[in-house]
Chains A and B, each alone.
Chain A
Amino acid sequence: MIAGGTDLLPSMKQGLFAPRVLIDLKGLRELDFIRFDARRGLEIGALTTISALANSQVVAREFPVLHEAAKTVASPLLRNMGTLGGNLCLDTRCLYYNQSEFWRGSLGGCIKKDGAVCHVAPGSDTCWAAFSGDTAPALLALEATVELAGPRGRREIPLAELYVNDGLVRLTKAADEMVTAVRVPAANAGWLGTYRKLRIRQSIDYPLAGVAVVMRKRADGSCAQARIGLTAVNPMPRLVTASDRLAGQAYSAALVEDVAREAIRVGKPLKTSASTMEYRRQMIQVFVRRALTDLWRSAN
């Protein structure tokens, strides 16, 4: 299946996939929509482009974390082509995997493709290639669900259950299923939110680490609830459960630091990209701290 093709086509050129038939989904106009209703929440069709998401006023107003995350995806041209469904189902990435057929062949392949060895974690029987989508951590923090459609009908699962923390498996979605829509509960509308992305270039680059934070505050400025999603530091996007400690608390730098430190335990980057794992972990801590602090201390 191909929608925007921004992930699939470069990979096909590198010989990572050689499908005999590609089904172009772009004609399914009914899956290209953004709907918001104060009672039913947000619903986004899987074929909505990242640009449409980034430019949506209702998303910007009600779900700023998703708005910010969408704005950081790749570059303007790629955002015009890439879709939300594609971004959520993005293949995991690794310096030993995203290479040409010649390059991979010169090393005898890797555990994810044409080989038996993991070059970043020799001896590992799972693949550590990092999930590198930007919108997933934001949607995880918003407790999104995804709708899957296939020959056995439709089913809806929490977004968190779409992923498997192993680059060999990646998704629980069956091969004959496709993501058709993403839903965010109305209860999570209007939360404060921000997305911080570690990258070398401020455009084009995939994240080396990404932190999505949402927070609902009480009238007295204390935190009612907060959630933190991480990307690009594991084979799947993950939530940092330590954010539960913030519920009902007044702002405290020590508490923020505590949660930021806990976030590092959730992110386990390996040497799958240009930057070192130590630096990527350090930045998770800095970004969580900054994001929490900014949201907590912001005016509203």
Chain B
Amino acid sequence: MGQPVLDESPIGARVPMVDSAGKVTGKGIYADDMTLPGTLTGKILHSPHAHARILSIDTSAAESLPGVKAVVTGRETPVKYGILPVGHDETIFATDKVRYVGDNVAGVAAESAEIAEEALRLIKVEYEVLPAWFDPEKSMLAESNLIHEEKPHNIEKDYHHHFGDVEKGFEAADYIREDRFFCPEVTHAALEPHSTLAQYDSEADAITVWSSTQVPYYLKLNLASTLQMPEEKVRVIKPLVGGGFGGKSEVIPLELAAAVLARMARQPVKITYSREEVFYAHRGRPGQIVALKTGMTREGRLTAVEARIIQDGGAYCSYGVVTILYSGQLLNAMYEIPNVKFDGYRVLTNKPACGAMRGHGTVNTRFAFEQQLNRMASVLGIDPMEIRRRNLLKPPCMTVNSLRVLSYGLPECIDEVEERSGWREKHGKLPYGKGIGIAGSHYVSGAANAIIRSGAPHTTVNLSIDSDGIVTIFTGASEIGQGSDTLQVQVVAAELGIGLDRVKIVAADTARTPIDLGSYSSRVTFMAGNAAIAAARDAKNKILTAAAAKMATTPENLLIEGNQVTCRDDRRLSMRFADAVRLAIVDGAETLEATGSYRPPPEATGGKFKGGGVGPSPAYSYCAQTAEVTVDPETGQVTVDRLIAAHDCGKAINPICVEGQVIGSVWMGLGQAVQEEMMWRNGRLMNPGLLEYRSASTLESPPIDAIIVESNDPEGPFGAKEAGEGSLAATIPAVTHAIYDAVGVWIDTLPITPEKVLKAIDEKRKSEIWKSEARSQN
């Protein structure tokens, strides 16, 4: 199915995603769909203990089982790895200790799944069970029995930031409030479980991996390091990915395990996680305790904010150091806060490792902040919309922690949701049991500093244009359902003035496409978008220079539109785009090559303090959101009736994609708000499946209105910023605020179960009875 040829620019056009057909028909190929001749099934043996020393492993019975082709344990995989250079604390299989129920102990490749499972049963492991840590506040006091010997007190990392002077700020405040919030751990629950197919070429001593990943480039680096192979011998190909949400934004044990087993067996090996294993691989949003103190004047101007944040990170570092920094650094860049103090602790516990999840690090802190802001507004009698307007940033500006903000659509977002929701007629005026609430949120458009610091571009896009004028984009950027491929096609078509049907894309194959850091931190639109523009400009420059010589004019006097190169001052003079390309192709070549890359400007890379590199972004998205709820005061059940989200994405290059991302973010935030929670008992996950881990069904999914606000970022591609994450966080405090408006109680602990709401309503009633009795006695 070809793309429609548009008369107008493809920027802002509602065109279907270029890879949608296969997804709709079911013909699209995901990692688990693929099989090579001789493919073996890989399975992983997991630890039944939360914390134990491995005394011995006997794999002999498994190895001699007919049909078993390879068995591997930590002995063969000693190299430590991790997504962050400061967090290399994982091995493919445990070498000395297991650190959570589900940790990886051994791998098997066999001719069938049944044989592989039988082989796992035959592996005998002797453990010495150790005392385990499950509560982060207790874990961080640990003196002995540490999870990783090199991390005292089980603290992965702590940061202590102080910008301005919070003591002075609190002195200047008329009202200071302190609250404690708790957000339990949640997970991505992507529809596609992780899956990897690995093929080893023994002649070339090279490995090729097809994997459900958001980060092919980092996977390649980690495969090379853990397999101890040169990088050029490793190729990673990303097929279609069925959702990532951060759960595939780092190397997941099965990806390395499949490769190791394939090399040992000298046969292709495929591993696909069961849903339960996905929960153990995890990398979701950590449980977080936020002690928050905010000061403001009686007019509602923020004077100081102090946050003490503890994150329950699980047994390995993963993205933890970045997550804890985001949770503090992005207190800023939303509102004007002159004085900010942050004490953050990323704590290790004997549970699966937490990592990056949509809204990485910001969501739980944002919930706490917006909730407290709404609470203070209510005490001071200031309209919650108005209190936000009184604390707006004044861009272009630099926040106290050196985050640069150029474009800022938050004021328009607030106006939009206020208008659309009928806020003035509803807030505080609905009958008991009905309520409306508001909150805001924001997010980075890509991290300004790469995970591995270097001067290299964050992304490069190459174009190859053949003599028929067909453009092929070669990009490392990873389509994970968010629209990465479609966006780059639109941008290149727009910049070159040709139809979308003239542009093809080859993406995320490390042997064929240039380096891109991956699909995380909402970086693709901004970074790959800018690189695609740069590449298209390079191509255009070459084409117009060649055409100008032929047409006896200057390149500046030419433009490309509608697949034609045309003279600006004499529209009758024109030639077909393909003919111009042919002129530009150098002698002896078959195609015209062009390239472009992107690296964030130095001014956007943040402060020089410790941890200052995380949080800075070339641009921030903004969102304001209203929620309307009905609360049943006898059961505590909350029905979310409607959500309206206005999202400032700079410029909607494809409004369908933007709306889809905003609706998806809001829906995911709603799940965390009202239903989702990883339930632990003694380090054992009680709900490692989608029946008991309850993401919203269609019946709990209310109408979600996505409103696009365009602030046109000066550095964004055609003004665009991120759209995929920034709307998630606001949903949670908007819903809790609406519950307050409905029944007068604040819920500070997620998720908002009916039981918690009912309890809060009962307590409020009791305290009101007590108060009125006390009054009548006086």
Taking beta carbons and an 8 Å cutoff, which residues of A are in contact with B?
75, 95, 99-100, 102-103, 105-107, 200-205, 274-276, 278-279, 282-283, 286, 290
Contact = CB atoms under 8 A, between A and B. Distances in A.
B48 A106 contact: yes
A74 B465 CA distance: 54
B49 A274 contact: no
A201 B696 contact: yes
A201 B697 contact: yes
Given A202-B699, A275-B755, A102 B276 contact: yes
Interface in B88-124: 101
B49 A106 contact: yes
Contacts of B697: 75, 201-204
Interface stretch (B472-480, B585-593, B683-691, B713-721): B683-691
Interface residues of B, number: 26
A102 B699 contact: no
Nearest to B636: A279
Nearest to B696: A201
Give the one of A102, A106, A203, A278 with max B CB within 10 A: A102
Contacts of B700: 201-202
B634 A105 contact: no
A106 B694 contact: no
Contacts of B755: 275-276, 278-279
Given A106-B101, A279-B758, A200 B694 contact: yes
A290 B633 CA distance: 13
B6 to A, nearest CB: 40
Contacts of A102: 46, 48, 276
Interface string B629-648: 00000110000000000000
Given A279-B758, A286-B634, A286-B635, A274 B48 contact: no
Given A205-B691, A279-B754, 16 more contacts: A95-B692, A100-B274, A102-B276, A105-B48, A106-B49, A106-B101, A200-B694, A201-B697, A202-B699, A203-B697, A203-B698, A203-B699, A274-B679, A274-B694, A283-B635, A286-B634
Contacts of B297: none
B684 A106 contact: yes
B119 to A, nearest CB: 14
B675 A200 contact: yes
Nearest to A205: B694
A202 B700 CA distance: 7
A198 B426 CA distance: 30
Contacts of A204: 691, 697
Contacts of B692: 95, 274
B635 A103 contact: no
Contacts of A95: 686-687, 692
Interface of B: 46, 48-49, 101, 274, 276, 634-635, 675, 679, 684, 686-688, 691-692, 694, 696-700, 753-755, 758
Nearest to A100: B276
A107 B684 contact: yes
12 contacts: A95-B687, A100-B276, A103-B684, A103-B688, A106-B684, A200-B694, A202-B699, A274-B694, A275-B755, A279-B758, A282-B758, A283-B635
Contact of A103 (B276, B699, B754): B276
Nearest to B691: A204
Nearest to B275: A100
A203 B758 CA distance: 22
A103 B47 CA distance: 10
B110 to A, nearest CB: 17
Contacts of B634: 286, 290
B699 A201 contact: yes
Contacts of B48: 102, 105-106
A276 B753 CA distance: 11
Closest 9 A/B residue pairs (Cβ): A106-B48, A202-B699, A203-B697, A279-B755, A201-B697, A203-B699, A200-B694, A286-B634, A95-B686
Contacts of B753: 200, 275
Contacts of A274: 679, 686-687, 692, 694
B221 to A, nearest CB: 31
A103 B758 CA distance: 33
B271 to A, nearest CB: 15
B375 to A, nearest CB: 26
A105 B276 CA distance: 14
A96 B691 CA distance: 14
Contacts of A286: 634-635
Contacts of B687: 95, 274
B675 A201 contact: yes
Contacts of B691: 204-205
A33 B632 CA distance: 39
A10 to B, nearest CB: 8
A205 B675 CA distance: 12
A281 B697 CA distance: 25
A163 to B, nearest CB: 24
Contacts of A276: 755
A202 B753 CA distance: 14
Contacts of B675: 200-201
A203 B690 CA distance: 13
Nearest to B679: A274
Nearest to B762: A282
Contacts of B635: 283, 286
Nearest to A285: B634
Nearest to B686: A95
Contacts of A100: 274, 276, 688
B193 to A, nearest CB: 14
A287 B172 CA distance: 52
Contacts of A203: 697-699
B768 to A, nearest CB: 20
Nearest to A203: B697
B104 to A, nearest CB: 13
Contacts of A205: 691, 694
Nearest to A276: B755
A260 to B, nearest CB: 11
Contacts of A201: 675, 694, 696-697, 699-700
A236 B49 CA distance: 34
A107 B686 CA distance: 12
Contacts of A75: 697
Nearest to B751: A200
B219 to A, nearest CB: 26
Give the one of A95, A274, A278 with max B CB within 10 A: A274
Contacts of A107: 684
Contacts of A103: 276, 684, 688
B329 to A, nearest CB: 34
Contacts of A275: 753, 755
A75 B754 CA distance: 22
Contacts of B754: 279
B350 to A, nearest CB: 13
B342 to A, nearest CB: 34
